[in-house]
Amino acid sequence: MIERLCIIGVGLIGGSVARAARAKGLCHEIVGVDADTDNLRNALECGVIDVGYSDTSQGAASADLVMIATPVGTFDAILGALKPVWSTQVVVTDAGSTKCSVIESAERIFGEVPENFVPGHPIAGAERSGVDASTADLYQGKRVILTPLNNTSPLAIKRVERFWRAIGAKVSEMEPAHHDEVLAATSHLPHVLAFTLTYMLGKKDEQQEIFQYAAGGFRDFTRIASSDPKMWLDICLANRRQIVSLIHQFREELSVAAGLISRGAEDELYSLFSEARSARQRFLDQLEK
């Protein structure tokens, strides 16, 4: 049982952690920390948290588990605020979408990553943001990747793993750099593509007609362009090397497809589409496991 759970960033991710922890009876008290006072007030009024603070160090004081659920661009400031009250008796973890940047922040602030800090990333989310978007079942059946270092305390890892499993998640471990490489391909690049396509079409003079006659495929493909721009700005800057490399690879593949269409290469184009369809089916099969 967690006596005092502190969640820094009570939005979709942090708010959903709080709701799930309360629904499962995992802690006696949930403390929320958020720079957005309106969101913090809303979290209190909705009963998502028991106590709210705008000051990070005040909120984390006396907690026995701290979850950082803010955009990765804030981690220098968050960890800097935690440093004066940091205790080796407290387990600290995070939900950041990039792991190398989070580890680098910890190294800048502490000189090395503290043994009781367990970097992690829940592979779950939605296009809406804020505590109003949070749900108690967001992590049910979803994957959580922990990226501990060689010096990370095994007891801290086990405690974080037990916590995520208790709220319904499937937990696995991965090297931080490999995590960033995989997520760049499966999450970060698709978001950049969706944002860019929607931006391109939105600039066209006939945009009202384009959007009026857009079919479900456009809606499905660009759904993730409704995500929080600030969060994705931070992710792209934090994982820029991997994302830019993939953009170049995608541009080459797109050029190949353009050439096939231009030449009317029916067999080759059909083969490309068929292989892509088979690849997606493999993804769906793995998703159901």
Under DSSP, the state recorded for 50 is S
pLDDT band at 1 (very low <50, low <70, confident <90, very high): confident
Assigned token pair, 119: 């970097």
Count of residues in the chain: 289
- Give the C-alpha separation, 45 to 231, whole Å: 25
Query: Under 8 Å CB-to-CB from 31, ≥6 apart: which residues?
Result: 4, 5, 6, 7, 49, 50, 51, 52, 53, 59, 60, 63
pLDDT band at 64 (very low <50, low <70, confident <90, very high): very high
pLDDT band at 154 (very low <50, low <70, confident <90, very high): very high
Q: Looking at residue 198, what is its pLDDT?
A: 92
Q: In which residue are the tokens 């749900």 written?
A: 135
pLDDT band at 278 (very low <50, low <70, confident <90, very high): very high
Angle (CA) 129 131 132, round 5° = 80
Q: Is 118 helix (H, G, I), strand (E, B) or coil?
A: strand
pLDDT band at 286 (very low <50, low <70, confident <90, very high): confident
Residues 206-265: tens digit of each pLDDT: 667 788 777 888 888 899 999 989 999 999 999 999 999 999 999 999 999 999 999 999
